[in-house]
């Protein structure tokens, strides 16, 4: 039973750090969105397009989670947005304490929205509260329409599902209706925004969702 | 330090089970291949095409790892191949003890190759020795050519990299030469087989690799 006890202790410590993060975000009036998706689901590219569409980069702050490299953080930095690289080594998720440490040295005074791009992984990040206001599942059409059933936790925990790479639909055996039905089986209320960063389709809907969610905080 | 000690204990227990699995596989002269890739990288479809190409389903045995559902195991079962579903709950990888339990009730007498389709995850499964002869990375072109640098451990640990969905190359910003160079940076010796289960390209090379690897055991 020692293993279970340690896991409980880890989760308890995590939740305490998550509460501290939540308090800091509330004090600064910053909306925190936790983006969770597989490697290559298109999280970084979606953020690039988001900043291009929204302008005023001083309103945003990004934490980039990766097991190795800082190439995603460099891409975000080129958008003029403040970004912190969180390199987890071989750890498969970002925990609340890593987030807390990443706040150091940033004032957040002009920040309205913090985007956390979690480690590319559809399993482990879903289990950790990092103090975010909403988890968001990012899934690419190339991953297949059955994924909500195979990886239910992240879909259950999410306030929004963003389907990426819909420009690839003509070349894939991906059935949009089956996908929507599978999402609804796991989380009947969660909205789905269908996007392509190649054609720009759906990016405006995603931006509008962010703005609405931010205005709910005021 | 309690957390580190427990992790060490878990890995030690895992390695002991891995040794038992290795001994059983040696006794039965079965080659065990551990397929690791992201959700939707095409692991199950590659196995389906493998069995269609190789025939004699009694020579194969599959363990299907998933956090939820048994839909992949059902697909493999339809190929006439013996398959065991390993459902991990919210656990993000298969460990050696789960493999050991999955052997129960199977004689392995006609089996030549065991394929373990690990949980869809490019991070955690790479850390666990399950008693396999070789880990194999399965990556789809839709995931991007930088992935070997971003998820180095699985590429370092692998004896082979199978790139899937090369039929999508005309529609993606995936540079094959950059990908090959990135793989070589992480693991200079590992071969890459480029495949499409849509067009059948590369499947014969993959089958040949399996047959050669199996003959090295004799």
pLDDT single digits (tens) B25-37: 999 999 999 999 9
Q: Quote the pLDDT of residue A13.
A: 93
A10 touches chain B (CB under 8 A): yes
Radius of gyration over every alpha carbon of chain B, rounded to an integer in angstroms: 17
User: Measured between alpha carbons, how far is B18 from B21 in angstroms, rounded to an integer?
Assistant: 5
Nearest partner of A10 among B10, B74, B65, judged by Cα: B10
B74-105, pLDDT tens digit by residue? Answer: 999 999 999 999 999 878 999 999 999 999 97
Q: Tell me which residue in A119, A127, A151 faces B39 most closely, judged by beta carbons.
A: A151
Q: Select from A6, A68, A123 the Cβ nearest to the Cβ of B119.
A: A123
Nearest to A67 among B39, B140, B151 (CB): B151
Grade residue B73 by pLDDT with cuts at 50, 70 and 90. very high
* Beta-carbon separation of B144 and A40 below 8 A: yes
- Token digits of residue B139: 């990556």
Q: In what order do the strands lie in the sheet with A82-87?
A: A82-87, A60-66, A113-117, A31-37, A134-140, A158-164, A192-194
Contact B6 A10 (CB under 8 A): no
Task: Tell me how far apart the alpha carbons of residues A74 and A77 are, in angstroms, rounded to a whole number.
Answer: 5
- CB pair distance less than 8 Å for B39 and A122: yes
Question: Is residue A33 predicted with pLDDT exceeding 70?
Answer: yes
Q: Are B142 and A144 an interchain contact pair (Cβ–Cβ within 8 Å)?
A: no
Distance from CA of A143 to the nearest CA of B (A): 4
pLDDT band at B218; cut points 50, 70, 90: low
> Which of A68, A85, A89, A142 to probe by mutation at the B interface, max B CB count within 10 Å?
A142
**Residue among A64, A130, A62, A70 nearest A95 (CA):** A130
Please check the confidence at residue B1 and state whether its pLDDT lies above 60: no
Backbone dihedral angles phi then psi of residue A69, each to the nearest 5 degrees? 70, 165
Q: How many CB atoms lie within 10 A of CB B185?
A: 12
Give the helix/strand (H/E) hosting B34: strand B31-37
- Residue B108 near residue B27 (C-beta atoms within 8 A): no
pLDDT of the residue at A2:
59
For the purposes of burial, counting CB atoms within 10 Å of the CB of B12, is it exposed (0-12), middle (13-18) or buried (19 or more)?
Answer: exposed
Listed in sequence order, the residues at least 6 apart from A181 whose beta carbon sits closer than 8 Å to its beta carbon are: none
CB contact under 8 A, A68 and B144: no
Q: What is the pTM of this model?
A: 0.94
Instruction: Kindly report the nearest CA distance between residue B103 and chain A, in angstroms.
Output: 23
Which residues on A lie below 8 Å from B71 (Cβ)? 146, 149-150
Backbone angles phi, psi at A64, to 5 degrees: -105, 115
Mean pLDDT (chain A, rounded): 95
Check: CB of residue A197 under 8 Å from CB of residue A164. Answer: yes
Nearest to B12, CA basis, from B22, B4, B2, B24: B4
Interface of A with B in 148-187 (CB under 8 A): 149-153, 165, 167-168, 171-172
Q: Which residues contact B1 (CB under 8 A, 6 or more apart)?
A: none
Percentage of residues of chain A with pLDDT beyond 90: 91
Residue B31, token pair as written in the block: 């080659």
Q: Reduce the DSSP state of residue A164 to 3 states and report it.
A: strand
Q: Do B123 and A119 touch (CB under 8 A)?
A: yes
Helical spans, DSSP H, in A29-159:
43-54, 71-77, 96-102, 147-150, 152-157
Residue of chain B minimizing CA distance to A171: B168
Query: Which tens digits make up the pLDDT trace of A61-92?
Result: 999 999 999 999 999 999 999 999 999 987 89
Nearest CB to B124; choose among A40, A72, A124: A124
Our CA-based measurement puts residue A137 at a distance from the nearest CA of chain B, in whole angstroms, of 13
This complex has an ipTM of 0.92
Residue A152 to residue A154: CA distance in whole angstroms: 6
Where residue A7 falls among pLDDT bands split at 50, 70, 90?
A: confident
pLDDT at res. B3: 62
Q: How far is B89 from chain A (nearest CA, A)?
A: 10
Which pair of structure tokens corresponds to residue B89? 């709950």
pLDDT in tens, B200-214: 999 999 999 999 999
In a 13 Å sphere around the CA of B77, the CA atoms on its Cβ side amount to 9
Distance from CA of B26 to the nearest CA of A (A): 31
Interface test with B, best of A3, A14, A123, A149 (most B CBs within 10 A): A123
Q: Would you state the pLDDT for residue B8?
A: 82
What was the pLDDT predicted at A218? Answer: 63
pLDDT band of residue A191 (cuts 50, 70, 90) is very high
pLDDT per position as a tens digit, A101-159 = 999 978 899 999 999 999 999 999 999 999 999 999 999 999 999 999 999 999 999 99
- Per DSSP, the residues of A107-138 read --SS--EEEEE--S-SSGGGG---S-SEEEEE
Q: What is the mean pLDDT of residues B146-153?
A: 97
Contact call for A142 and B92, based on CB within 8 A: no
CA distance B167 to B107: 39
Q: Does A134 touch chain B (CB under 8 A)?
A: no
pLDDT, residue A4, reads: 65
Query: B142, A66: Cβ pair inside 8 Å?
Result: no
3-state SS, residue A157: helix
- Taking CB atoms and an 8 Å cutoff, what residues of chain B touch A127? 90
């Amino acid at each position: 039973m020692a293993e279970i006890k340690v896991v409980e202790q880890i989760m308890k410590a995590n939740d305490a750090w998550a509460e501290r993060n939540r308090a800091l975000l509330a004090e600064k009036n910053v909306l925190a969105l936790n983006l969770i998706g597989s490697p290559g689901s298109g999280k970084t590219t979606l953020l690039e397009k988001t900043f291009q569409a929204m302008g005023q980069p001083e309103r945003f702050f990004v934490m980039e989670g990766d097991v190795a490299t800082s190439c995603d953080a460099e891409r975000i930095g080129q958008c003029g947005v403040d970004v912190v690289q969180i390199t987890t080594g071989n750890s498969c998720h970002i925990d609340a304490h890593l987030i807390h440490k990443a706040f150091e040295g940033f004032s957040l005074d002009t920040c309205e929205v913090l985007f956390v791009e979690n480690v590319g992984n559809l399993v482990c990040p879903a289990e950790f509260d990092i103090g975010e206001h909403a988890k968001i599942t990012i899934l690419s059409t190339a991953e297949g329409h059955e994924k909500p059933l195979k990886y239910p936790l992240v879909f259950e925990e999410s306030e929004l599902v963003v389907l990426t790479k819909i420009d690839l639909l003509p070349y894939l055996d991906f059935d949009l209706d089956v996908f929507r039905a599978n999402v609804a089986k796991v989380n009947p209320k969660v909205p789905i925004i269908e996007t392509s960063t190649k054609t720009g389709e759906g990016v405006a809907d995603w931006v509008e969702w962010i703005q609405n969610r931010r205005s709910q905080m005021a």
